[in-house]
Structure 1
Amino acid sequence: MRGLRASASVFAITLSLALLPTTAVPAAVTAAPPAEPEPASLMTISVPDRAAFDRLVAQGADLTERVRPQPDGSIQVDAVLTPSQLVALQPLGVTRADPAAPAPPQQKGAAQADQIVIERAVWFKSRDGYFLSVEATSSAGGTAALTATWRGSHGSGGTVAMVPYVDAGAYLGHQFTTPAPADRRPQWVTVASAGGGSTQARVREWPDGERPDRTAPGYQKDFITQYMPPDQVNERVRALAKRYPHLAEIMALPYKTNGYRRHAQAQFGTVVVTSLAYGSEGGNDVSVELVDPGAPGRALQVGVRGKSVTVSLATGSTGQLTSTAAQVVAALNAGAGTLLKATPYRDDPGTGVVAAAARTPLTDFLKAPASVSRKPATVLALRVGTKRNGSRTGVIAYSQEHAREWVTPLVTLEAAERLLRNYQRDPATRRLLNRTEIFIVPTVNPDGANYSFYDFNLQRKNMVNRCPAAQADPALRNTWGVDINRNYASGSLFDGYFGASVNCQSGVYAGPSEHSEAESGNVIWLAKTFRNVKFALNVHSYGGYFMWPPGAYKFDGRVTLPRPTPSEEAYFLRSARTIEQAIAAERGTVTWPQQTGPVTDVLYSAAGNSADELWYDYGVFGWDFEVGNDLWDPATKTWQPVGFQPPFEEGHKEAMEFASGLISLIGVAADYRGTPEQ
């Protein structure tokens, strides 16, 4: 099934929206830009066509992984935007979409005779009933207009429009926008083209993998009661290691993160002042006052007493203030440079006259309680197994590379709880712990996670600010950081691969170099140190995907990283179906077939992701979950997104089912004998 299910990579590069040009400041007027970021929210937008979508990406919109091309050629995608960013996109035809609206009519393709091949036609039964998914190719390529007509027992049936995928100029096939509801189990499907081509196939069951191991009476699960910030996650991990010392131990990973900390700042018109020390290390004690001396002919002066900085502004012959922003910046850096650094506001020329301002304390703007440490963080791993000596097949389970994905640590924690608490009572669990060695990292990115919990819930990246001074004002603080899952070393941006950015404000900013961040270094350290590791699962949200390498390509010619061999790819898929079977067994959630496969086939190109480095550099079978499958709304007969932080009732259910999937993966590892054929 490779090469079919690709939502074009240009659709889903996650970027921060480019700043609008700033307005020039009149020479005698002081601008006062806001210090608070404009509120952002998660919304579904509609883009009229693929060309407009390309322009949208070029302007830098922060798009999520949930991309839904429509039959009329338009595209719906979930995006993180502020109100002004949404308004700025209107010239592209971007509107806020109604996900519950009926699908638009299908575009008609070129009328030409074509050959149709049904690549996959499957049905699945979820908690909401029967659904059909079909993927096909036409010899006419992306211009073909295909429809799928199915029939089942008792005269049941229906017709569904198919949508083409053309990714980086390559036609990859047609499929449904989303799986289509069926009142009974579909049995046969016919795919027909407006160009005259037609073929049919029997509909098979999905995922149809191996059933989960039967658990013993008294098997315990459901240990998660709330969303947890990093401190609570670490507390649970330590408690498990203490309670089960014969089965688990704590590992402190070697690279400390930046810490939940920022430099303190204040803004005076178009002058931005930033402390040299972090706010928690003295920067929050610095204050600045801009004084009108109240007399004519005074020179600009800066005085420092302790951590209090006073700027006496220059005046003209009549006593009017004359100090420009550029002059104040220079004076502050010369006179108070041991405490702070002054910079112009973004690209402001500094010609505006600065007004007097009362004493203002600098602040790091961080809102977490004092109990949340501001120091560099140690990332913890829980090492689980009866033989923790490298003699068993190793598995790495890691989550929350992206800070806003609150469900993901719950998945790994719930799996850890089940493994340890059921070892004595459940033979299937004993088999797993006797035959594998498991490294569980619930929170790869603790700094960003704290920022997401306490400051900006849609934070994706870590808290390392690598932006230049021109992008350092407080109103931009929610755009800083490095995307950890673009900071790895195989198929990276620095190797020429597509799907990451050099823009420090981009949601997919790759950092200044491969492995520039402690967070990515810790994940790879595990694979490099413990060469018995053969399997890894990176838990993300949301959208309901299950993916594996290759995860990146070079845009020109759409040249992907090398595909696994046919036997390896078959092993990836066979294992995926088994794992997805375990997920579905929990509450009937089925991961869609069109969202199961190599990353470049089912999602987009993600240069520098962790699964690629694990696979290509260390030979580790690396998978990615995107937990949080769409929920079926029977009233509107549409699939609805769940978001990064659904109400905990839903987040809890997602944690339960994907913990079952993770345990199933450990079962796959327990059966591994060194070759994919086995």
Structure 2
Amino acid sequence: MKKKQKWKRNLMIMTAITGLGFSVLSPSLSMPTNADETDLPLPKEESVSIVQLVVPNDKAKDKLLELGIDLTHRIEENNGQLEVDAVVTPSEIEMLKNYGINVKETLITENEWNARVAERQSAVQLQASLAATEDTLKVLRANHFTNQSDTFLYLEVKSSAGATASTALKATWTENGVEKSATLSRLVDYGEYLYHYLMLPVTAIPESVKIESNLGGAASSAVTEWLGKEPKKPKTNYVTDFVDHYMAPNELYDRAEKLAKEFPKLVEIIKMPNKSNGYRRLAQATIGSTTNTSVVVSSKAWGHEGGNDVSVEFMNPGTPNSPLKLTVDGKKISVDLATNAAGNPTSTAKQVVDVINANVSQLVTATTYRGNSGAGVVSPVTAKLTDNLKAPADVSRDPFTVKAIRIGKNRDGSKPGVLGYAQEHAREWVTPLVTIETAERLLRNYDHDSETKKLVDNLDIFLVPSVNPDGANYSFYDFNNQRRNMTNHCGPTESDPAYRNSWGVDLNRNHTVGSAFDGYIGASTTNCRSDTYAGPSENSEPEARNLVWLADKNPNIKFAMNIHSYGGYFMWSPGAYNANRVTLPRPSAGEESFYWAASDIMLNDIQDHRGTVILPSRTGPIPDVLYSAAGNSADYLWYEKGIYAWNFEVGADLWNKDTKRWQAVGFQPSFAEGHEEAMEFSNGLIGLIKIAYNYAKDHQKPSSKATPGNGKYTGPVEVKIETSEPATVYYTLDGSRPTFQSAKINLSGTREFAETIKINKTATINYFAVDAAGNIEKNYNPLGNGENYNSDTITIK
């Protein structure tokens, strides 16, 4: 392997270890957990930004590995140098300069994040004001016309709440005595809402049409002939574009409930049994100004349940030779510090900690600063405990019930299931929009689009908009780069409030297959502040257990898509390898072929929206195109449940024709870009649903053929078995019947084609093929006694 290839691979391994996201206090710059007695100033919180680093050489790369800088998914090589996107503080930037690692470009700052939040909040307020009352509908046009090929119904209807994309209008009319209905498309030009419209062919001209809004408005109109006008160019009848801002969890699930209410025959809401820990924290304060004089106080109650009402005061009693004393008045804790003969305080941080824990343990707990011995003398000071949470009061602090939107005409498990789930990582704001947009398209096109009706009638579709609602709320309201959930598994020495942005478990590292607990790379089991912290044990987190529960309860699920961002990747299992880079078992050659064939369909659908191309180098098994991700959920679904499971990384790099460079879009692009990503990857998710439909209707048996086949040969022969479609081939060489326990045709190597069978001496190859839908060649029953398998004898002279 070339030197620069090793360099890039090692950096990818390091990326998997450091993960995505960052703490406000960088691990490389923060105080050590066991601080010494040096009386140092407390580290200050720093602003954070996502930047593009230029790593010039091996020495700098090695230092980056040592420092554990927080990296995103994106790594590029240009002219022998690596360009790596990283989440850093100003102190980290200055430190990296010492090793020749410099910032090439700043991608997003905290100010830009605040602008994103303000943009979103403005959209939320607009939507709330428009949806507060029943909307008014105005029918602008209700016409019919006949051109040289067909007769059309054309409608233009304006809603008083049309400025928000969640406002949906439905038209109903009678055609040849049969009631018909269809959803109208919303037309926006340069940011201005114009109207909703519909144009589709009809078999008979309706006399009238009724329009109804999902907000309660209604209007009717006679249908009149459109005369003397040239007809507009017909547009597709397929309705899209139902999201107009980034949506927090309560909005996502409110939308889901409304869809279930509006479409009760097609939708139900599944409540997951494992509630999240909740968007909540203990109220805390670090009282003091230096490491060995500070006391960390944490409430016993959650902040919103009384912890935020606790205050602590360290006082000089004003008299000489006073003893250390504590009094409590409700939730006000007063500590009279001990004094010497001169009346100066003498109580150390450790002594104050001990007196608090001995007297008010029912109210608070106290520790010295990050394991410090606390030998410094405490100064008089007053502090109010706070949970530091900034979300408005309407964002619940209670444990959250995660839900799945289940869509289908028959939701009894009799139809093949498709699962799409998003936002395992909180900071990936675009990903939930893909699921909501997809749900809206399936439901609002059902009445008038035959393709959509076919999918909904013949499949069981599960969509989970936000796997990680607590972390998502924290990302929206507190710390935009939050990756994990909010559960703090750190001990007392790592639980002061300055570490609050570094707590939580990476839900996509908490599963049981290929986990870090089993020696696979790409997660931490020891560092509770790592952004790829796998948790205290496998499946420790309720959010991860919900996914397991959903797969267990619905064995009809055959396909799944885990939606992430950013980078523009399209991936599948295996997702992890060990320290020797031995991956989890590779799919058979037939299974791999199915992954590629299905991916081709989805990638073409993604490209249809605006031409986005997921690069070949970013398409394939996870470790082949990105890095090892120990304990990821897609591996669990594939290896434990036999579900064909893919991973989207939405947000492909954008090509700048002027600079001739790819530009990263980030986790939270402007909504204009985020909207486009949601639209194109909703195309891709519906592409997966179409694949599931084809799977459900596939009764065609595969065929297979050995080349060369029967015959006499003068030396060793490489036999290749080809199939008529993606299918797994089972074979034997000892003359026995092939079964599902027999050897499979596997890949010949990473990102290579199917292996051949090398025959060195005379042998008979008995074999059969099975496709992804379970169809077996020639109706052969591997569990029975039949012999209608393929058989070729290779005779070596």
Please tell me the TM-score bracket, short chain as reference.
0.7 to 0.9
Matched, 1:90 2:97: yes
Aligned 8 A contact 2:28 2:68 in 1: no
Gaps of 5+ in 1: 101-214
Shift of 1:216: 9.2
Query: 1:141-160 residue pairs with structure 2 within 5 A?
Result: none
1:99 CA displacement: 8.7
Q: Summarize deviations over 1:125-180 as a string: whole Å, max 9, x none.
A: xxxxxxxxxxxxxxxxxxxxxxxxxxxxxxxxxxxxxxxxxxxxxxxxxxxxxxxx
**Counterpart for residue 29 of structure 2:** 20
Matching residue of 2:570: 546
**SS of 1:315 mapped into structure 2:** coil
Q: Aligned-pair distance for 1:20?
A: 3.1
Please report how far the alpha carbon of residue 639 of structure 1 lies from its aligned counterpart in structure 2 after TM superposition: 0.6
Corresponding position: 1:64 with 2:72: yes
The within-5 A match list for 1:462-481 is 462-481=485-504
The equivalent residue for 2:421 is: 398
| 8 Å contact from structure 2 (residues 35, 370) kept in 1 | no
Counterpart for residue 192 of structure 1: none
CA 441–21 in structure 1, closer or farther in 2 if over 3 Å, else same: closer
Q: Deviations over 1:546-581 (max 9, x none)?
A: 0000000001x2110000000000110111111000
Question: Partners in 2 of 1:417 and 1:538 — Cα distance?
Answer: 19
1:619-666 Cα offsets, whole Å, 9 max, x none, are 011100000011111111111000111000000000000000000001
Q: Which residue of 1 aligns with 2:735?
A: none
1:273 equivalent in alignment to 2:297: yes
The structure-2 alpha-carbon separation of the partners of 1:533 and 1:622, relative to structure 1 and needing over 3 Å to count, comes to same
Q: 1:387 aligns with which of 386, 389, 410?
A: 410
Comparing 362-371 and 326-335, the one that deviates more = 326-335
Matches within 5 A, 1:234-633: 234-269=253-288, 270-358=294-382, 360-502=383-525, 503-555=527-579, 557-633=580-656
Q: Tell me, what secondary structure is at the counterpart of 2:86?
A: strand
In the TM superposition, residue 349 of structure 1 has moved relative to its aligned partner by 2.7
- Note if contact 2:16-2:521 (Cα within 8 Å) is conserved in structure 1: no
Report the alpha carbon displacement of residue 25 of structure 1 after superposing the two structures with TM. Answer: 9.2
Whole-angstrom distance in 2 between the partners of 1:67 and 1:88: 21
Equivalent residue number for residue 145 of structure 1: none
Aligned residue for 1:460, secondary structure, equals coil
Which segment is superposed worse, 409-418 or 38-47? 38-47
> Identity rate of aligned residues, in percent?
52
Q: Give the structure 2 partner of residue 223 of structure 1.
A: 242
Question: Is the aligned partner of 1:41 residue 2:46?
Answer: no
Residue 326 of structure 2 aligns to a residue whose secondary structure is strand
The 2-side partners of 1:232 and 1:25 are apart by 43
CA separation in 1, counterparts of 2:584 and 2:103? 36
Letter in 2 for 1:352: G
Distance 2:334 2:682 in 1: 57
C-alpha distance 677-341 of structure 1, shift in aligned 2 (>3 A): closer
**3-state SS of paired residue (2:254):** helix
Q: Is the 8 A contact 1:10 1:54 kept in 2?
A: no
* Higher-Rg member (1/2): 2
CA distance in 1 between partners of 2:285 and 2:89 (Å)? 23
Q: RMSD between aligned alpha carbons?
A: 2.2
In structure 2, do the counterparts of structure 1 residues 463 and 413 end up closer, same or farther at CA, with 3 Å as the change threshold?
same
Distance 1:392 1:51 in 2: 56
- The CA distance in 1 between the partners of 2:41 and 2:298, in whole Å, is 17
Which amino acid in structure 2 is aligned with residue 14 of structure 1? T
**Cα separation, 1, equivalents of 2:544 and 2:45:** 28
Deviation per residue, 1:377-419 (Å, 9 max, x gap): 0001100111101111111100000000000000110000000
1: CA distance, partners of 2:79 / 2:448: 52
Opposite residue 466 of structure 1, the aligned amino acid is: H
Give 1:79 shift. Answer: 1.1
Following TM superposition, by how much is the alpha carbon of 1:57 offset from its aligned partner in structure 2, in angstroms? 3.2
Amino acid of the structure 1 residue aligned with 2:364 = L
Q: What is aligned with 2:743?
A: none
Quote the offset at 1:347 in angstroms: 3.7
TM superposition shift of 1:472: 1.2
Deviation at 1:95, TM superposition (A): 1.3
- CA positional deviation for 1:26: 10
What is the alpha-carbon distance in structure 2 between the residues aligned to residue 48 and residue 335 of structure 1? 57
Aligned to 2:682: 659
SS in 1 for 2:567: coil
Q: 1:517 to 1:54 in 2, by over 3 A?
A: farther
User: Is 1:671 the equivalent of 2:671?
Assistant: no
How many residues are treated as equivalent by the alignment?
557
Q: CA deviation at 1:344?
A: 1.4
Determine if contact 2:15/2:70 at 8 Å carries over to the other structure. no
Q: Structure 1 CA distance, aligned partners of 2:592 and 2:640? A: 17
1:292 and 1:505 map into 2 onto residues whose CA distance is 37
Residues 11, 261 of structure 1: alpha-carbon distance in 2 compared, 3 angstrom cutoff: closer
SS for the counterpart of 2:354 is helix
Q: How far apart in 2 are the matches of 1:93 and 1:676? A: 53
Aligned-residue offset at 1:38: 2.1
Name the CA distance, whole Å, in 2 between partners of 1:631 and 1:26.
48
AA at the equivalent of 1:492: S
Q: Letter of the aligned partner of 2:555 in structure 1?
A: R
**Separation in 2, partners of 1:638, 1:12:** 25
Alignment TM-score, normalising by the size of structure 1 = 0.79
- AA aligned to 1:257 is S
SS in 1 for 2:17: coil
Offset at 1:62? 1.3
CA contact (8 A) 1:280 1:374 kept: yes
Q: State the one-letter code of the partner of 1:312.
A: D
Tell me, in whole angstroms, the C-alpha distance in 2 between the residues paired with 1:506 and 1:305. Answer: 40
| Higher-RCO chain (CA-CA 8 Å, sequence separation at least 6) | 1
Aligned mates of 1:656, 1:253 — CA distance in 2: 27
Counterparts of 1:612 and 1:274, CA distance in 2:
39
* Partner-residue secondary structure (3-state), 1:401: coil
Q: Which amino acid aligns with 1:59?
A: L
Q: Deviations over 1:492-513 (max 9, x none)?
A: 0011100001211111000001
1:152 is matched with which residue? none
- Give the deviation of 1:304 after TM superposition: 1.4
Structure 1 contact 32–268 (Cα < 8 Å) conserved: no
Pick from 9, 14, 33 the counterpart of residue 10 of structure 1: 14
1:488–1:513 distance in 2 versus 1, CA, 3 Å: same
> Counterpart of 2:404 in 1: which secondary structure?
strand
Once residues 645 and 57 of structure 2 are traced to their aligned partners in structure 1, the CA distance between those partners, rounded to angstroms, is 34
Whether the aligned pair in 1 keeps the contact of 2:389 and 2:478 (CA below 8 Å) is yes
Counterpart of 1:661 in 2: which secondary structure? Answer: helix
- What are the Cα deviations for residues 322-357 of structure 1, in whole angstroms up to 9, with x where unaligned? 111111111111121111111111243311111001
Query: Aligned partners of 1:399, 1:236: CA distance in 2, in Å?
Result: 15
CA drift of 1:298 comes to 1.1
Any idea what SS the aligned residue of 1:559 has? coil
Compared with structure 1, are the counterparts of its residues 554 and 276 closer, same or farther at alpha carbon in structure 2 (3 Å cutoff)? same
